[in-house]
């Protein structure tokens, strides 16, 4: 059976977070009553003229900067002609030969891969090369009923970035990681909500297979109707197998577009694929070209700290592990909350705060984790929590730390209570859930439960001396070199004090009295 090389390219359409549409002043609002946000321009009525949305251009340039793209000094808009019932003008205003962004790449973060693929990443640190990012207008929305179709033109004219990758992706797992990483960066920059469920992030997949040893790419087959991360992964796997089986039978594949049927788990033919000349591109006569130098200078200071940059800083500044740094930087909300807690108390090691946040805080909330981490869903396990991060429904203000049940200050105060020895770690695991449930401060809960630890040296020494006197055989074990037996004394002291003894102080007292 011949071996085939799989080559994948993605075309991602991301709606921009602007208040108005691309070429008119109609508001952009998800879920509004159908056909209430329209005007002669976005309905394509005769005589209506488009006006460029400066904010959309700026956000596209910012996206290009985050992804390492170049912005040409002069860009223009073109008309792409084709007929769809949800395209009011029968042409789309887009960019053809002079787009806003050229080149660049999307880094594939390790935690962006599907969870079952994170331990076998073929090319760690890979950056998928981009061809271009251009800015265009979205179409309306068709809803197909049993015997008729309804059209909603509220979405028509919404600013839409098309992010086109090179044919640089080798597998379904890399495509999944590409989409997850790209979505994360778009949210970091505040340029898009990147929510597939609401349709403001959509993806088309181009797949081709060629025999090993052949340099020329095989026929490009495009997949549409992909509405989730898992659907992208499943569709690529199915289509790869379908093409391989067809080639094995000696069939000649032709450039075409296929629809993904998620219920049946298969692709079906829609049409043979048009080439660029079929769209009859020509410069839009109603829109002048734009010189970009001033816009580039304006947006350069607004490039945010990106996920991989934040991850590296967390490792260096807070001495957390690479994995923990990756998780902490996975969303703006989580990273912002962590840094708020770290800055709240300089007397608590940042690593301890990270440990409690990742190992206990998030796990305790469990079912509420989608509220804390914008864009979480059970179907895309990319972070090792009960409900991991992936595609979903992030709020537009993704950096807001108000999404957390308690403040960063309150959480840092809790970690201080444990790390200073005022309560034990076991008691901390009782206190934290109650804090998250009630919003009460740690000190109040500790007092109510009688968890205050005994840290009086004299009282602790009296407890330890009684235990040592009653267990000479255990004392001999420690003196003979069995350091583990030291823990037995600590456990007995905790039992004798009903869990209130400070375990660290107990261990120090035992060590001093037994070993001198």
Q: 469, 477 in Cβ contact below 8 A?
A: no
Q: Say how many C-beta atoms besides its own lie within 10 A of residue 23's C-beta.
A: 24
DSSP-assigned letters across all residues of 271-304: EEPPPGGGG--EE-TTS--EE-HHHHHHHGGGPP
pLDDT (0 to 100) of residue 444: 94
Instruction: Give just the sign of the alpha carbon dihedral 397, 401, 406, 407.
Output: negative
Q: Which residues of the chain have pLDDT under 50?
A: 1, 367-400
pLDDT (0 to 100) of residue 387: 25
User: What CATH number does the domain located at 457-515 have?
Assistant: 1.10.10.410
Cα separation values, 385 from 63, 157, 319, 324, 372, Å: 29, 39, 21, 12, 12
Q: At residue 244, what are phi and psi to the nearest 5 degrees?
A: -60, -45
d(CA 269, CA 406): 52
pLDDT (0 to 100) of residue 511: 81
d(CA 272, CA 278): 12
Cα separation values, 341 from 80, 398, 415, Å: 51, 18, 10
User: Which residue ranges does the chain devote to CATH 1.10.10.410?
Assistant: 457-515
d(CA 259, CA 240): 14
pLDDT digits (tens, 9 = 90+) for 319-342: 999 999 999 999 898 999 999 999
pLDDT (0 to 100) of residue 456: 62
pLDDT (0 to 100) of residue 472: 81
d(CA 322, CA 328): 10
d(CA 188, CA 335): 11
d(CA 280, CA 276): 7
pLDDT (0 to 100) of residue 378: 34
- Exposure letters 355-373 (e unless 16+ CB within 10 A, then b): bbbbebbbebbeebbbebb
pLDDT (0 to 100) of residue 271: 84
- Three-state secondary structure call for residue 385: coil
pLDDT (0 to 100) of residue 478: 76
Whose CA is closest to 113, among 168, 181, 11? 181
Whose CA is closest to 323, among 141, 8, 110, 495? 110
d(CA 57, CA 51): 12
pLDDT digits (tens, 9 = 90+) for 339-371: 999 999 999 999 999 999 999 998 887 544 433
């Amino acid at each position: 059976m011949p071996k085939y090389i799989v080559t994948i390219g993605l075309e991602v359409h991301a709606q921009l977070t602007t208040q108005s549409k691309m070429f008119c002043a109609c508001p952009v609002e998800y879920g509004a009553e159908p056909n209430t946000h329209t005007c002669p321009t976005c309905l394509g009525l005769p005589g209506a003229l488009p006006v460029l949305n400066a904010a959309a251009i700026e956000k596209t340039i910012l996206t290009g900067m985050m992804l390492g793209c170049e912005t040409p000094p002069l860009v223009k808009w073109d008309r792409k002609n084709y007929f769809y019932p949800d395209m009011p003008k029968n042409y789309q205003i887009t960019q053809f030969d002079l787009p806003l962004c050229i080149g660049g790449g999307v880094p594939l973060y390790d935690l962006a891969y599907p969870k079952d693929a994170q331990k076998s990443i073929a090319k760690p640190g890979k950056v998928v090369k981009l061809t271009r990012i251009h800015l265009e207008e979205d179409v309306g929305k068709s809803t197909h009923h049993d015997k008729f179709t309804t059209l909603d033109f509220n979405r028509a004219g919404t600013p839409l970035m098309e992010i086109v990758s090179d044919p640089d992706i080798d597998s379904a797992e890399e495509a999944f990681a590409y989409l997850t990483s790209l979505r994360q960066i778009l949210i970091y920059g505040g340029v898009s909500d990147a929510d597939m469920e609401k349709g403001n992030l959509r993806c088309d997949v181009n797949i081709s297979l060629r025999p090993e040893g052949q340099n020329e790419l095989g026929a490009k087959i495009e997949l549409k109707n992909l509405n989730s991360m898992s659907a992208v992964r499943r569709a690529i796997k199915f289509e790869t197998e379908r093409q391989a089986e067809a080639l094995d039978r000696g069939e000649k594949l032709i450039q075409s577009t296929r629809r993904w049927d998620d219920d049946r788990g298969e692709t079906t033919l829609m049409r043979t694929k048009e080439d660029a000349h079929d769209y009859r591109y020509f410069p839009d006569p109603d829109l002048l070209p734009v010189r970009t130098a001033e816009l580039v200078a304006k947006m350069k200071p607004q490039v945010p700290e990106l996920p991989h940059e934040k991850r590296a800083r967390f490792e260096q500044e807070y001495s957390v592990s690479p994995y923990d740094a990756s998780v902490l930087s996975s969303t703006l909300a989580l990273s912002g909350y962590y840094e708020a807690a770290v800055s709240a108390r300089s007397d608590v090691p940042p690593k301890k705060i990270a440990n409690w946040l990742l190992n206990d805080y998030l796990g305790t909330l469990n079912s509420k984790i989608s509220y804390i981490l914008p864009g979480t869903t059970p179907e895309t396990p990319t972070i090792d929590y009960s409900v991991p991060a992936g595609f979903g429904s992030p709020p537009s203000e993704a950096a807001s730390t108000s999404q957390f049940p308690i403040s960063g200050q309150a959480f840092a105060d809790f970690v201080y209570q444990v790390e200073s020895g005022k309560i034990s770690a076991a008691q901390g695991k009782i206190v934290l859930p109650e804090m998250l449930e009630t919003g009460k401060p740690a000190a109040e809960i500790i007092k109510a439960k009688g968890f205050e630890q005994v840290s009086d040296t004299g009282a602790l020494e009296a407890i330890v001396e009684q235990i040592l006197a009653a267990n000479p055989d255990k004392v001999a074990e420690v003196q003979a070199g069995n350091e583990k037996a030291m823990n037995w004394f600590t456990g007995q002291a905790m039992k004798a004090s009903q869990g209130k003894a400070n375990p660290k102080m107990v261990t120090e007292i035992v060590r001093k009295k037994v070993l001198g």
